[in-house]
Structure 1
Amino acid sequence: MSDLQTARLVLHPLSPAEARRLVARTPAAGDRWAPGYPTDGDVESAADFLNHCAATGDPRPFGDYEIRRRADGLVIGSLGFNRPPGADGSVPIGYGLVPEARGHGYAAEALRGLLRLAEDHGITCVKGDADHGNTASQHVMAAAGMRLVGEDERVKYFEIRWPAAAAAGAGDRA
């Protein structure tokens, strides 16, 4: 699978080999990791991706992606689908950036790219959540077009939906 490009970012789909290096926190020659990458969240997400690969095969394009700045190629975070799509056409997402990359709109830009990919592959609903105190993440999801759909005592829930008929034909677009 090829990289996804946004205006300022490259979303690079992790292979199982790359995910294993990330979990081991051992970059390969040529990897350009920003200070602080991978975070514990990046490692946890890559480990979940590897578990999915072992259980059901490589789920790409519904796996994990490194977020790389186009300007310098530096890996500043990751995002992806927390698991393959469900039978109902929905899929949960997660994302994170190293601290120095936050506040520049990178997370919302990357998430918009991932949402386009989901819609183009027939997904009808993408879901995300953030703790009440994590207003930055709530703003990222809202800026990417997701809307608040509920909350409980700890978490706010966001989603974006596309009509099934529109999503099914989305992969036919050029």
Structure 2
Amino acid sequence: GLEQAAREELDFFNWCPSPRSWWQLAHTRDGRLAGIHVPARNPGGPCVGFIGVVPEARGHGYGYDLLVETTHFLAGQGATSIAGATDRGNTPMAAAFSRAGHRIVQERIHLV
């Protein structure tokens, strides 16, 4: 369920050696919550830890905006390359990665 999924995401973020202070909420110009982005560093290097847009803010390009903010933040921390991933069915986020110039270099499949 949702609670378990959220717990697994938080476990991942807490496992990453990057500090909690990197996590950032994003708001619209009028102050409404738009989403969250989590720039991170895992053992492989800088990565897009998480980008989430709240349901009522979807469809306005905020996923792309948050990806850009994450990229700028990590570049400011000295990153020269940044890894990112999304689920195959998450076409809006896949489009944001593509628009931002990210190339698909590998595909991972979870077998349960």
Gaps in structure 2 of 5+ consecutive residues: none
Going by fraction, where is strand more abundant, 1 or 2? Answer: 1
Going by fraction, where is helix more abundant, 1 or 2? Answer: 2
Give the whole-Å Cα distance in 1 for the aligned partners of 2:58 and 2:82: 23
Which string of whole-angstrom CA distances, capped at 9 and with x for unpartnered residues, describes residues 72-113 of structure 1? 1111211113x4353x54334211111221111111012112
Q: Which amino acid aligns with 2:38?
A: G
Correspondence list, 1:1-174, <5 A: 44=7, 47-48=10-11, 51=14, 59=19, 63-69=22-28, 71-81=29-39, 83-86=40-43, 89-153=45-109
CA RMSD of aligned residues (A): 3.3
Give the whole-Å Cα distance in 2 for the aligned partners of 1:45 and 1:79: 16
TM-score normalised to structure 1 length: 0.50
Identity over aligned residues, as a percent?
30
Give the whole-Å Cα distance in 1 for the aligned partners of 2:71 and 2:32: 22
Q: Which has the larger radius of gyration?
A: 1
Which string of whole-angstrom CA distances, capped at 9 and with x for unpartnered residues, describes residues 27-54 of structure 1? xxxxxxxxxxxx869x5488448845xx
Q: Give structure 1 regions of 4+ aligned residues with deviation exceeding 2 angstroms.
A: 43-52, 83-86, 88-93
